[in-house]
């Protein structure tokens, strides 16, 4: 289990979180450059076991909100997370003890490391998705406990800021935050979801930073050995490679604070084709029109040769890719959770048929039989 994050850990985390992000969470390469600059200045960041948190510790989450397509064009100023965290602290008149991870996917795996380092508090090795999702209310910290998204604070690269002290529900909190994010150019820093250590322990998807790091390390090893990297990714995540082919079409719009669209992949060996629809993240995959995988299970696109994550904002014609389906963490598969993150929550009139198994959210030392042990 990872207990601190150093410069050397950035590349494995970027790869692992890029894959777990199912397309979203923000560009992991750019997030990694940002994290590296902060670690160079401040030193490694401490990562703590969620079960080491005091029950009454005060924890928040930190992340970027917006469209991943924007995240590669509108670079951060660098202190968005810290300024949003301090603004929220000022509003609630209390100090946070630790920062948890809203989503382990993409650059949003790194924002809580950056925020924690800049604020001088540890990052919790726990997120609330075990992947990435496009909307705030899709967080197990929220639907798995009585924590609420508001009060929250948002800050952009300029000096625009907002505090939302209350929202009628977490869904309304998302709607307000999304529109504020649009006013901030579809990219803003968000610090939200005040909760206690007890709530983190109860509702989080734990050890996902350790998992992202482990996954990245296994990918790098497999690249060096020139083995079948996509298969290694599937093995680590207890999933399977559902398709290999070439991207033949992409339709992607940046609209209302999201990147929405679809990607088509043609199989190398025959006329089969895979279609994936996304809203920041990959949500539903169909082979020749038949649904094969849906949210909350993970649909991850990696390059065919290197097994590197292919996120939504860099999907392009001609890339040779493999698509991996992996079982979602248990926290996302309860009845309550599926109402928020299941296919119907995204407007797809499809039942969720869970993939068997899964390792995301398990303690590293209990899941070694499935290969997840750093």
The CA–CA distances, whole Å, from 300 to 97, 296, 332 equal 33, 12, 17
The stretch near a copy of itself (CB under 8 A) out of 59-67, 72-80, 176-184, 192-200 is 176-184
Closest CB 181 distance from a copy of itself, rounded Å: 9
Nearest-angstrom CA–CA distance, 74 and 263: 24
**160 scored as a contact of a copy of itself (CB under 8 A):** yes
Interacting residue with a copy of itself among 40, 56, 120, 158 (CB under 8 A):
158
Q: What is the arrangement of strands in the sheet containing 273-279, beginning at the earlier edge strand?
A: 290-294, 281-287, 273-279, 258-267, 240-255, 320-326, 298-303
Nearest-angstrom CA–CA distance, 370 and 236: 7
The stretch near a copy of itself (CB under 8 A) out of 7-15, 34-42, 152-160, 246-254 is 152-160
Closest CB 134 distance from a copy of itself, rounded Å: 16
Helices 80-92 and 111-119 cross at an angle (nearest 10°) of 60
Nearest-angstrom CA–CA distance, 165 and 162: 10
Nearest-angstrom CA–CA distance, 307 and 321: 8
**161 scored as a contact of a copy of itself (CB under 8 A):** yes
Q: Which is nearer to a copy of itself, 154 or 302 (CB)?
A: 154
Residues 76-135 that bind a copy of itself (CB under 8 A): 87, 91
Interacting residue with a copy of itself among 7, 52, 75, 168 (CB under 8 A):
168
How is 5-45 classified by DSSP, letter by letter?
E-HHHHHHHHHHHHHHTTT-SS-HHHHHHHHHHHHHHH-PE
**171 scored as a contact of a copy of itself (CB under 8 A):** no
Closest CB 153 distance from a copy of itself, rounded Å: 9
Q: Count residues binding a copy of itself (CB under 8 A).
A: 22
**182 scored as a contact of a copy of itself (CB under 8 A):** yes
Write out the residues near a copy of itself by the rule CB under 8 A: 87, 91, 158-168, 172, 175-176, 178-180, 182-184
């Amino acid at each position: 289990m990872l207990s601190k994050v150093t410069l050397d850990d950035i590349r494995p985390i970027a790869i692992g979180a890029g894959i777990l992000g199912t397309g979203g969470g923000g560009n992991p390469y750019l997030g990694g450059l940002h994290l590296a600059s902060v670690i160079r200045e401040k030193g490694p960041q401490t990562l703590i076991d969620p079960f080491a948190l005091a029950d009454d510790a005060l924890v928040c989450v930190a992340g970027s909100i917006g469209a991943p397509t924007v995240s590669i064009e509108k670079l951060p100023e660098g202190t968005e997370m810290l300024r949003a965290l301090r603004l929220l602290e000022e509003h609630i008149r209390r100090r946070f003890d630790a920062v948890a991870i809203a989503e382990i996917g993409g650059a949003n795996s790194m924002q809580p490391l950056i925020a924690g380092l800049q604020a001088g508090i540890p990052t919790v090795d726990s997120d609330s998705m075990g992947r990435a999702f496009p909307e705030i209310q899709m967080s197990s910290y929220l639907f798995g406990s009585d924590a609420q998204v508001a009060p929250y604070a948002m800050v952009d690269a300029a000096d625009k800021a907002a505090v939302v002290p209350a929202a009628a529900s977490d869904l309304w909190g998302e709607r307000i935050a999304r529109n504020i994010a649009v006013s901030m150019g579809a990219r803003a820093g968000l610090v939200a979801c005040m909760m206690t250590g007890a709530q983190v322990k109860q509702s989080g998807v734990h050890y996902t930073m350790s998992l992202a790091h482990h996954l990245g390390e296994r990918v790098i090893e497999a690249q060096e050995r020139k083995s079948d990297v996509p298969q290694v990714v599937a093995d680590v995540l207890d999933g399977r490679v559902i398709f290999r082919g070439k991207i033949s079409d992409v339709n992607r719009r940046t609209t209302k604070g999201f990147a929405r669209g679809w990607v088509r992949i043609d199989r190398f060996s025959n006329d089969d084709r895979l279609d994936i629809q996304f809203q920041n993240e990959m949500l539903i995959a169909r082979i020749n029109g038949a649904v094969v995988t849906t949210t909350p299970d993970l649909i991850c696109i990696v390059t065919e040769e290197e097994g590197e994550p292919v996120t939504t904002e860099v999907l392009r014609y001609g890339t040779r890719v493999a698509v991996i389906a992996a079982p979602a963490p248990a926290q996302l598969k309860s009845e309550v959770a599926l109402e928020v993150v299941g296919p119907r929550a995204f407007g797809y009139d499809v039942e969720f048929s869970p993939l068997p198994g899964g390792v995301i959210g398990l303690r590293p030392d209990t899941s070694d039989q499935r290969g997840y042990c750093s």
